Amino acid sequence: MKILIVSQYFWPENFRVNDLSIGLARRGHRVSVLTGIPNYPNGEFYPGYNFFKNIRQDYFGVKIIRVPLVPRGKSGNLSLILNYLSFVIFGSFFAPFVCRDDYDLIFVYGLSPIFMAIPAILLKKLHKKPLILYVLDLWPDSISAVEAIKSDFLLTITAKIVHYIYRQCDQILVSSPGFKERIKEVGIEESLVNYWPQWAEDIYQVVPAEKKLPENQKLPSGFCIMFAGNIGAAQGFKTIIEAADKLKKYSFIHWIIIGDGRMKPWVEREIQLRKLGNIVHLLGKRPLETMPNYFVLADALLISLKRNPIFALTLPAKIQSYMASGRPILGCLDGEGSRIIKESGAGLSSPADDCDSLAKNVLKLYNLSNEERQEMGVRGRMYFEKHFTRDNLLSKFENRAVSLVKKNNKSP
């Protein structure tokens, strides 16, 4: 098949759509990606990129087509809104001219903002090809939950646009079972909405613990709880910091935070104010390929989300990466994520925003034997292999896509 993927974010930005595109290309499909100029998460164009440079590239056989956009900037909702809208505007303007192949299928990798689907809808109408939307983030619920938009009027307008986008799709895939009911509530037929979970990239494997790793020199000695990913408003860092504060007398328990995000300055201030610098360590961003080495050095891998009904419906992809790495998981979240951790036996989970329960689970995990913690990791890896492997999930996607293309080709 000739597949056009539409995603505002793509390589060298680090998102799973990169792995998806490579996986489809290696299965013999001709894959193109309509995307923007890379600027996530730092808010500035990556070195070597601008409106005229590297706007056409090849990525492991995937054809990259870039359109202009306004970089997201360092902070502030206005710059972020301009970033979102600029991809929609420039993407819609340029797409008919730069995406002229006879595609069989258009696929939107629906990270925030969901508005990135609008250029894809335009191409669907022009080329009369089926459109699949992959919903990884429920709008406007998610932006309301982190108070990115507080105006009821703007949230209502956003909801109307989102519902319009849903209605234009021939198939909607969702990354969490909890999303299905919410999408059906706005009038989308149940048969059009299907669960398709995320996977972890193949680099996430069980690394031998005895291996001498350079990453070990960057970590303190003691019991290490590791968080890896976006340091954002949704991730519940207030709870993490408060739990660390409650356990600060246990100087051998260390909280390792790998990543970056808009909440990082707040976290840095809290560490200083609470005098937690000896137990909470911000390592910044690290290359994706080094993450398995960091994970194997952790005694527990931490995932957290704020308490909100929309986050309870979410199944964060971080869980798949943690499970694939075979390490115990320490959860502080509600709903789907918590259910998976408990169902798999991969670790311990406490309610979102509950710093007391998180602190108790840290101590509980610490007091287990190494063998008991290792068994948690083994159970998590087994659950991953049963439910979240890339090859199995790509095959399911292909089956759906081929069926949709055949149906479209039979239409008068």
Q: What is the pLDDT of residues 228-282, one digit of tens each?
A: 998 988 899 999 999 999 999 999 999 999 998 889 999 999 999 999 999 999 9
In the chain, what are the domain boundaries?
2-199+389-406, 214-387
What pLDDT, on the 0 to 100 scale, is given for residue 411?
Answer: 65
Which residue is listed with tokens 């929609």?
Answer: 88
What is the side-by-side order of every strand in the sheet holding 105-110? 56-59, 62-66, 30-35, 2-6, 105-110, 131-135, 171-174, 193-195
Q: What pTM, to 2 d.p., does this model score?
A: 0.85
Residue 217 makes CB contacts below 8 A (sequence gap 6+) with none
Task: Give one word for 147, left, alpha or beta, with left for phi > 0 and alpha for psi -120 to 50.
Answer: left
What pLDDT, on the 0 to 100 scale, is given for residue 210?
Answer: 55
pLDDT level of residue 142 (50, 70, 90 thresholds): confident
pLDDT higher than threshold 90 for residue 78:
no
pLDDT higher than threshold 70 for residue 147:
no
What pLDDT, on the 0 to 100 scale, is given for residue 275?
Answer: 95
Decide if 2-199+389-406 and 214-387 have a common fold: yes
Q: Which homologous superfamily does the CATH classification assign to the domain defined by 2-199+389-406?
A: Glycogen Phosphorylase B; (3.40.50.2000)
**DSSP code string of 2-40:** EEEEE-S--TTS--HHHHHHHHHHHTT-EEEEEE----T
Domain 214-387 has CATH 3.40.50.2000: yes
pLDDT higher than threshold 60 for residue 211:
no
